[in-house]
Amino acid sequence: MRQHEWCFHRDLGPAKVWGYWAKNPNDPGKPLGMGYLGPTIAATRDHPTVVKYRNELPAGPHMFQFVLDRIRKGDPQLTPPPYHGMPPLPPNINVWNVVHQHGGFTPPQSDGMPLQWFSPKGVRGPSYTTLDPGKVAPNEAIYAYTNHERSAMLWYHDHAMGITSLNVYAGLAGLWRVGDPADERLGLPGGEFEVPLILQDRTFDEDGSLAYTMTQVEGADTPVVNGKAYPFLAVQPRRYRLRFLNGSNERFWRLRFQADRTVVPEENLPFWLIGTDGGFRRPLQMLNFLISPAERYDLVIDFGRLPMGAKVTLTNYNAPVHFPDGGGPEISEIMQFRVTEQLTGGGDPTTPPKELALPPVELVRPKPGTRRREWVVYQKGIFESMTFNGLPFMAPSEDFVKAGSSEIWEYINPNHDAHPMHVHLVNFQVLNRQPIDATAYQAAFQKWLDGGRRPADRPVLDRYVTGPPSPPDPDEAHSWKDTVRVYPESVTRIIIDEFDPPTARIASIPASGAELPATYVHHCHILEHEDDDLMRPWTIVTDHD
């Protein structure tokens, strides 16, 4: 983790940014990195990866120190609820970091959870862990990853307690691609025709530097793709595989590909969705898609129908920052695809999407007696902190999951905005959603909290539903997910097939596997909500715990 300069646009001056750098195997004196974001880590399924993270950021002040200062002064809009008098941020330091592999099948000691942070000066968080402790400096940590996932695009990003939003906004994020040699037989676009696209929004001062404005407004005002504002990509007239990550702090995007009507009969270019967070799914032809923070969409689009010189604009529409009723700066145009390159290789050898033989996704069906667990998005009043079930993050885990079991988690959202919920360790499937009487449920839940949270008195969800369950959105159905859109005034149900953390050694490193009980977290991936305080631990236990 280093500070560097990065130019987001040719008309902007250089900005001070944070990013990840990798050791260069060919020249140790010249590390690999851009400055902003981080290198894509390309892994092979079931071949583990071991990473030493070194924190070489300036020790302080933080790039956005004014936010930390407001939290430490108790600003009610930014400060999480107190827990036993503990300060909301670590005292006496201003920069602390930890890295989370988002979507990974990872033991807790390598998960990069909020309290596992470490600082440039070697100050360590209360849950700091490292493998091979004799091989790390005070400002380092070694993590081991199983890569025991389906072929998918994961990502890695900062997850430090209380300041994840600031650290990611500064640039601490990158892609982690898990590949499978069997994919080579599928006939998908590859090489230069497989393009990762990290979508973010950022605001800039006149000199080109990053401006963090989300203490005043929702979202930022400028689209940034792979670190560039309003970029374009020159393409050949053929099929491309585009792999989207919504890396924004808060913003939902509803995306479509708009072509000039004088070039093609339809304005919106169709595409095929072939994968989501957790890997491949049955191909689905679409004209647009909604993507919330942290979600990934894997799609194939054909520019071969377009004449040379055609331009296709990736546009955003009907999606406020906080979906569906939020505000914030509107961003309508994001980037362009320009058909200006000559077709190489004598043609397009890839398989048409409707003919793709992708690995099928078996539906996980609830069994009689499957445990249901409720998570209520609770906010007492406007501008007050959000929590799960009225508990701060720092309160001890009170949700204990049996190892090897399956559960249905019900996210109850009586609020007006959607929340992207991310569960560490596991992939899941979306079961259904159901509308609720949000006002009545909120009042009943508040009464339950005020009455001391007696389990027997907790509001019964079924008494507040106002309609039948609706199936998953078409893009979610038959898909593996690690982040789900929890829509307002409804309950969103997901099913987790098996809670089974990796207990075996990873890469032959002692103490690298999970030991039970094993605690993980889940949280809203609107990063400002995660920091303030919409995140909770949960613990996997054995029958004997």
| pLDDT per position as a tens digit, 112-164 | 999 999 999 999 999 999 999 999 999 999 999 999 999 999 999 999 999 99
Q: Which residue from 365, 484, 470 is spatially nearest to 430, judged by alpha carbons?
A: 484
From first CA to last CA, the distance across the chain in angstroms is: 38
The predicted pLDDT at position 444 comes to 98
401: Cβ contacts below 8 Å, ≥ 6 apart: 373, 407, 499, 538, 539, 540, 541
Strands (E), 10-117: 15-19, 41-44, 49-54, 99-102
Does the structure show a pLDDT above 80 at 404? yes
Q: Percentage of residues in the chain with pLDDT exceeding 70? A: 100
User: Residue for token digits 């019964």?
Assistant: 460
Does the structure show a pLDDT above 80 at 545? no
Omega cis (within 30) before 533: yes
pLDDT band at 518 (very low <50, low <70, confident <90, very high): very high
The predicted pLDDT at position 264 comes to 77
The predicted pLDDT at position 543 comes to 83
The predicted pLDDT at position 194 comes to 98
- Please state the three-class secondary structure of 186-218 as a single string: CCCCCHHHEEEEEEEEEEECCCCCEECCCCCCC
The predicted pLDDT at position 51 comes to 98
Tell me the torsion sign for CA atoms 85, 89, 93, 99.
Answer: positive
Does the structure show a pLDDT above 80 at 329? yes
Report, as an integer, the average pLDDT of 428-437.
98
> For residues 346 and 57, which has the higher predicted lDDT (pLDDT)?
57
Does the structure show a pLDDT above 80 at 540? yes
Written as six digits, the tokens of 229 are: 């504002």
Report, as an integer, the average pLDDT of 95-104.
98
Amino acid type, 308:
M
pLDDT band at 94 (very low <50, low <70, confident <90, very high): very high
| CA–CA dist 312, 335 (Å, integer) | 9
Does the structure show a pLDDT above 80 at 266? no
Report, as an integer, the average pLDDT of 374-397.
95
Does the structure show a pLDDT above 90 at 238? yes
| CA–CA dist 19, 517 (Å, integer) | 34
Mean pLDDT estimate for the chain:
96
Report, as an integer, the average pLDDT of 355-366.
96
The predicted pLDDT at position 263 comes to 76
pLDDT band at 303 (very low <50, low <70, confident <90, very high): very high
pLDDT band at 383 (very low <50, low <70, confident <90, very high): confident
Residues paired with 180 in a beta bridge: none
Amino acid type, 343:
L
Helix (H) or strand (E) holding 517: none
Q: Which residue from 153, 146, 302, 309 is spatially nearest to 234, judged by alpha carbons?
A: 309
Report, as an integer, the average pLDDT of 335-350.
95
